[in-house]
Amino acid sequence: MEFHIDKARVLPKENLRGFLEGLKNLGKLIAPVKKQEKFYFDVIGDVSKVELSYTRTILPPKKFLVPYRRERYTYDAETLDFSSSFKAEPQIIFGIHSCDLHGISILDSVYLKENPDPRYLEVRKKTVLIGISCKPDEYCFCMSTGTAFPDGANWDLFLTDIGDNYFVTIGSTKGDEIILNMKEFFREITDEDLDLYKKSSSFKKSLFDFKNLPDLGRISQVIELEYDSPVWEEEAERCLGCGTCTNVCPTCFCYTEMDVPSLDGKTVTRVEFTTSCQYPYYSLVAGGHYFKPTRASRFKHRYYHKFVGYPYQIEKLGCVGCGRCSAECPAKISMIETIKKLRGTADEEELRKVAE
Amino acid sequence: MKKSLEKLLNKPLPGDPLLPHKALITDVEELAPGHKRFSFSFLDEKLNETWEHIPGQFVMITVPKAGEIPISICSSPTRKGTIELTVRKVGRKTEVLHQMKPGDVVAIRGPYGNGFPVEIMEGHNVLIIAGGLGLAPLRSLIWYILDKRPLYKEVYILYGTRNYESVLYKEEMRRLRKRPDVKCLYILDKIENEEDRAWTDREGLLTELIPEVDLDPADTYVAVCGPPVAYKFIGKELLKNGYPESQVFVSLERKMECGIGKCGHCQIGYKFTCVDGPIFPLWDTKNLPEML
Amino acid sequence: MVKIGIMGLTGCSGCQCEILNCQDALMKLIGKVEFAYFPLAQDNNTFDEEFDVMFVEGSVTTEEDEAKVLKAREKSKILVAIGSCACYGGVQAQKNDEASLEEMLKTVYGKTELFLKVSKPRAVSEVVEVDYELPGCPVDKRQFVYAVSSLLNGVKPFFPKIPVCHECKLSETECLTLKGIPCQGPVTYAGCGAPCTSQGVGCQGCRGNCDFPNFKEMLKILQENGLSEKDAVAFLKVFRGYQGREIKVNDEERRNEKGA
């Protein structure tokens, strides 16, 4: 069951602080906070710092599931005995937007379907995900990727803003328990609440400028058909290869592993750090051969992976339309524009005339 | 919660796929300048018995202090108890491995990748094409097929190297040539001295040998491994000679960190070399232009 | 015992001071290695024996520097250049391609005859073969410790030349380039942990070029952020020394760039 209407509750906005305080008892509370003009997910001490009217954080909440730099093992250089100090702590990530929830469900598939990673699973089991509705800006295109609304895939609670209250839907038994344990903050839903909730999806849709949204219909095929398109070269001309697009992406997972010996040479630490397909060394093999030697080949690879690779590997698009890669790109390369160029989207008016 | 994800998240914690097993170096042989064969057996006796792999698969070997490297297994699964790897001294990790001696301990995990479709090949001719170090994964296939010789029809081995000095497994390859149940054609880039001449009188590119193979292409499976630059030419020549794309299998090399489809480095288009490869049918190049 | 040397050529000695700041690591090293040559930090230095690892700071600018570094190469199994002066020539080399030595001397000292015999500042690698380079102004402590522990263990250190944006973004710093502040992060070799950008100061490029930097776009962006083309080129060249030659202004030169 995706949606238990009989279990949905209403959280009056004045109770939010109390609810957040209560969540802190369940584990480490993580929520968006403001830093200068931008937002980021951080561990919360003072719940008044939690900022819920944000469009996007610099980095997705992924960093609390798969840290950007992680020690995998320590081993003895002589005996090769491997040990690990890994420990997953209970945590609650509060205030995640729909796109990032979809991003996490993509990571779930990546890490848990084939060759499941026990660490990721342990962290996921100890993590509570609480989502919140949002308002899009010009970089958002979750409407095209089908990730504008949570689809009951992997979260525990989702708060939809319905004016003075949040309409709280329950996505898992874990979420249900949380509400039961803190029922003093919630009230039963009324017909009026339900009515407002039903309207919320069309309200979100109304905030998009549909002319700006990219058409992602048969996008895998488009990318494959346009393999030799000059658009790649044109766009890559501007690409700095800085890797920001992948580092801020909620679905990117590539990492490099390196062994760091201690000064006395007795132990070695195996470290994994997030990397980017936009870096030349990414495809460099011993002997000096670059399998992705040009900027255009690396640039193309990212699109290829997102729109052809993920569908092949996990049967979902690798893009959730969060807009981070476009919003953070120092060269202002826009994914929406690149896709439009690749499609060679002609004037729709004109097409209609041809059809007639 | 969706069924598919509910299933994933409610599973018990699996074993750690990245945790390697301790292995002992039992033997080291210098094959050619900068090339060594290492033999390993696991410290865990049970693992030596239960270990199975398919020719063409690879392992991730931890070189103490230096890190992990993906290396093709060059021994045949039909010969149990030891795993052999052929290693060229080419980077910062292999340099350290090359200094290691019998008795030293390393760690190995695997086997990874798909391997050659040895069962599909049964009942057909097999053409094996190796260039330089490309012999390593194919050596596993060669001995696998020879140990199960009656299951296969004609077997051809084409092997090209720079000169005699860089020929790997010299004795073995010489013995193979004497066997009546396998046809061997060897070629050198350039014949410069007596040693070279004693090895073969053929001088030129590996591709030149392909038209000389006397097999019915439709009934033949081809296994190719060589340096990255060679694939394009070998592929073209095979197609020209009528070998079906779906029956030509190439073994590819990419940068790898994990071997289990998590680190991303080895991606070729939409596929991971480590889990969807490293053996790809030539047919795949149609969808993955950057493959060769 | 492993013999280590740390020598300074022409520079501010800041990198050597930074090494002295690695207290924890130094404490672990004492007793395991012998600092046979480290004039900045100790008396009794010998320069006559073989060194296992020699760290060289500073650019080769005087005759004495050149003699020292030649001897260091001869005496050392591994020679590591530390800091941007040793790796690229440093700030003192930024005008190497624009002015003659005489012009430089006249501008700075008012005369061309000095008590020392000087040349244009050069990177150590322009004089002798260098095994590893640890750039930065100053050198990064963690990288130094990692390099030392790798070398002592007989392993070559691994330094992927990725851009500063990597570390900057992962520490969730707001992009300064997008904010309109001139920043060289996208074309500069990471490893510093992006301390400048986190304080709101644009990256100054002290660690030199990352792999295949896109200077064309960088120049365009710097100009959009208020610098003239000339200033933008000068800004990029401050720390890059000989690497600054990779900054091409016209399209013709750019066409054959590797990895473009």
Q: pLDDT (tens digit, 9 = 90+) per residue, B112-142?
A: 999 999 999 999 999 999 998 999 999 999 9
Residue of A nearest to C25 (CA): A263
At the topology level, CATH places domain C2-152 in: Rossmann fold (3.40.50)
How far the first Cα of chain C sits from its last, in Å, is 46
Q: Which chains touch A (3 or more CB pairs under 8 A)?
A: B, C
- Count A/B contacts: CB-CB distance under 8 Å: 157
Which residues of C fall within a CB distance of 8 Å from B100?
none
ipTM: 0.89
For residues A8 and A162, give the distance between their C-alpha atoms in angstroms, rounded to a whole number: 13
pLDDT at residue B269, rounded to an integer: 84
Residue A154: phi and psi, rounded to 5, are -155, 10
Show the tokens assigned to A222.
Answer: 């488009």
Half-sphere exposure of A31 (CA within 13 A, CB side): 26
Question: What would the mean pLDDT of B158-170 be, rounded to a whole number?
Answer: 91
Question: What confidence tens digit (pLDDT) does each residue in A285-315 have?
Answer: 888 888 888 899 999 999 999 999 999 998 8
Residue B156 · residue B166 · CB < 8 Å: no
Q: Could you count the other beta carbons within 10 Å of the beta carbon of residue C184? A: 30
Residues of chain A whose beta carbon is less than 8 angstroms from a beta carbon of chain C are 35-38, 40, 57-59, 68, 77, 237-244, 247-248, 256, 258-265, 274-276, 279-281, 290, 293-295, 328, 330-332
- C155 Cα to chain B: minimum distance (Å): 6
Going by C-beta distance under 8 Å and a sequence separation of 6 or more, which residues neighbour residue C132?
A: C78, C80, C81, C147, C151, C156, C157, C159
How far the first Cα of chain A sits from its last, in Å, is 45
Which residues of B fall within a CB distance of 8 Å from C155?
65-66, 92, 96
Average pLDDT of chain C, as a whole number: 90
Partnered with residue C199 across adjacent β-strands are none
Which residues of A fall within a CB distance of 8 Å from B65?
77, 259, 261, 265, 268
pLDDT at residue C21, rounded to an integer: 92
Residue of A242, A244, A268, A292 for testing the chain C interface, max C β-carbons within 10 Å? A242
B290 touches chain A (CB under 8 A): yes
Which residues of C fall within a CB distance of 8 Å from B99?
154
Which 211-230 residues of chain B touch chain A by CB within 8 A? 228
Reported as a pLDDT band with limits 50, 70 and 90, residue B227 is confident
Give the start-end residues of each E strand in B43-118: 58-63, 67-72, 83-88, 105-112
Give the start-end residues of each E strand in A27-68: 28-35, 38-43
**Residue B229 confidence (pLDDT) above 90:** no
C160 touches chain B (CB under 8 A): no
Residue of C nearest to B67 (CA): C155
What percentage of chain B has pLDDT greater than the value 90? 67
* Mean pLDDT split into 10-residue runs, chain A, 356 residues: 70 94 94 91 93 93 94 93 92 95 93 91 94 93 91 85 92 90 92 91 88 88 88 91 94 94 92 93 87 90 92 91 94 92 69 62
| Secondary structure letter of residue B246 according to DSSP | G
- A47 Cα to chain B: minimum distance (Å): 29
Count of positions (residues) in chain A: 356
Contact C217 A331 (CB under 8 A): yes
Separation in Å, CA A159 to CA A98, A130, A163, A351? 10, 7, 12, 41
Question: What would the mean pLDDT of B64-68 be, rounded to a whole number?
Answer: 93
Residue C155's closest CA among B100, A249, B259, A164?
A: B100
Q: Could you count the other beta carbons within 10 Å of the beta carbon of residue B273? A: 28
- Listed as ranges, residues in chain C with pLDDT below 70 are 250-260
3-class DSSP assignment, residue B160? strand
Q: Which chains touch C (3 or more CB pairs under 8 A)?
A: A, B
- A317 Cα to chain B: minimum distance (Å): 12
Domain coordinates in residue numbering, chain B = 21-112, 118-251
Question: What confidence tens digit (pLDDT) does each residue in A209-228 have?
Answer: 888 888 888 898 888 888 88
How far the first Cα of chain B sits from its last, in Å, is 42
At the topology level, CATH places domain B21-112 in: Elongation Factor Tu (Ef-tu); domain 3 (2.40.30)
- B214 Cα to chain C: minimum distance (Å): 43
Q: What would the DSSP string read from start to end of A135-183?
A: ---TT--HHHHT-SS--SSS-SEEEEE-SSEEEEEE-SHHHHHHHHHTG
Going by C-beta distance under 8 Å and a sequence separation of 6 or more, which residues neighbour residue A135?
A: A55, A204, A207
Judge residue A351's burial from the number of C-beta atoms within 10 Å of its C-beta, 0-12 exposed, 13-18 middle, 19 or more buried: exposed
Residue B76 · residue B162 · CB < 8 Å: no
- A238 Cα to chain C: minimum distance (Å): 6
**Each residue of C57-76: b (16+ CB within 10 Å) or e?**
bbbbbbeebbebbeebbebb
Question: What would the mean pLDDT of B101-117 be, rounded to a whole number?
Answer: 93
Residue where the block lists tokens 């202002």:
A332
Contact B13 A118 (CB under 8 A): yes
Which residues of B fall within a CB distance of 8 Å from C78?
none
Q: Which among A36, A40, A244 has the least Cβ separation from residue C165?
A: A244
Residue A43's closest CA among A61, A58, A70?
A: A61
Q: Which among A38, A275, A294 has the least Cβ separation from residue C260?
A: A294
| Secondary structure letter of residue A9 according to DSSP | E
Contact C169 A243 (CB under 8 A): yes
| Secondary structure letter of residue A306 according to DSSP | I
Question: What would the mean pLDDT of B209-214 be, rounded to a whole number?
Answer: 89
Contact A241 C148 (CB under 8 A): no
Residue where the block lists tokens 């190469």:
C73
Maximal CA-CA distance, chain C: 57
Residue A100 · residue A133 · CB < 8 Å: no
Q: Which among B68, B261, B269 has the least Cβ separation from residue A304?
A: B269
Show the tokens assigned to A58.
Answer: 């610099």
Residue of C146, C149, C152, C156 for testing the chain B interface, max B β-carbons within 10 Å? C156
Amino acid identity, position B25: I
Residue of C nearest to A284 (CA): C160
- B134 Cα to chain A: minimum distance (Å): 15
Q: Could you count the other beta carbons within 10 Å of the beta carbon of residue C224? A: 13
Sign of CA dihedral C90, C92, C98, C100: negative
Q: Which among A247, A261, A265 has the least Cβ separation from residue C169?
A: A247
Show the tokens assigned to B230.
Answer: 């060679």
Q: Could you count the other beta carbons within 10 Å of the beta carbon of residue B207? A: 21
Which residues of A fall within a CB distance of 8 Å from B261?
114-115, 313
Partnered with residue B88 across adjacent β-strands are B35
Residue of A257, A303, A304 for testing the chain B interface, max B β-carbons within 10 Å? A257
3-class DSSP assignment, residue A36? coil
Give the start-end residues of each E strand in A146-292: 157-161, 165-170, 187-188, 255-261, 267-274, 284-285, 289-290
pLDDT at residue B200, rounded to an integer: 87
Q: Which among C28, C158, C186 has the least Cβ separation from residue A240?
A: C186
**Residue B2 confidence (pLDDT) above 70:** no
Say how far residue B55 (Cα) sits from the centre of its chain.
Answer: 7
Q: Would you state the torsion angle of the CA atoms of residues A135, A303, A310, B226, taken in this order, to the nearest 10 degrees?
A: -160
The CATH-assigned architecture of domain B118-251 is 3-Layer(aba) Sandwich (3.40)
For residues A220 and B144, give the distance between their C-alpha atoms in angstroms, rounded to a whole number: 39
For residues C48 and C208, give the distance between their C-alpha atoms in angstroms, rounded to a whole number: 33
Which residues of C fall within a CB distance of 8 Å from A67?
none
Residue B87: phi and psi, rounded to 5, are -125, 125
Count of positions (residues) in chain C: 260
- C156 Cα to chain B: minimum distance (Å): 6
Q: Is the peptide bond before A90 cis (omega within 30 degrees of 0)?
A: no
Q: Which among A154, A265, A291 has the least Cβ separation from residue B5?
A: A154
Say how far residue B162 (Cα) sits from the centre of its chain.
Answer: 19
pLDDT at residue C253, rounded to an integer: 62
Contact C154 B65 (CB under 8 A): yes
Domain coordinates in residue numbering, chain C = 2-152, 164-254
| Strand duo A9-12 + A165-170: pairing | antiparallel
Contact B287 A116 (CB under 8 A): no
Residue of B92, B99, B100 for testing the chain C interface, max C β-carbons within 10 Å? B92
Helix axes A230-238, A295-304, angle to 10 degrees: 110
Q: Which among A108, A253, A265 has the least Cβ separation from residue B264?
A: A253
C158 touches chain B (CB under 8 A): yes
Which residues of A fall within a CB distance of 8 Å from B109?
none
| Secondary structure letter of residue B20 according to DSSP | P
> Mean pLDDT lowest for which of A12-21, B3-12, B153-162, C183-192?
B3-12
Separation in Å, CA A187 to CA A12, A92, A201, A228, C9? 8, 22, 22, 58, 74
Contact A280 C211 (CB under 8 A): yes
- A224 Cα to chain B: minimum distance (Å): 8
Residue A4 · residue A180 · CB < 8 Å: no
pLDDT at residue A1, rounded to an integer: 41
Residue A308 · residue B269 · CB < 8 Å: yes
Going by C-beta distance under 8 Å and a sequence separation of 6 or more, which residues neighbour residue B69?
A: A286, B60, B61, B63, B91, B93, B94, B97
For residues C64 and C54, give the distance between their C-alpha atoms in angstroms, rounded to a whole number: 17
Residue of A240, A264, A276 for testing the chain C interface, max C β-carbons within 10 Å? A240
- A7 Cα to chain B: minimum distance (Å): 14
C175 touches chain A (CB under 8 A): yes
Contact B269 A153 (CB under 8 A): no
Partnered with residue B193 across adjacent β-strands are none
Residue C159 · residue A256 · CB < 8 Å: no
Separation in Å, CA C153 to CA A265, A269, B88, C129, C156? 6, 13, 21, 22, 9
B93 touches chain A (CB under 8 A): yes
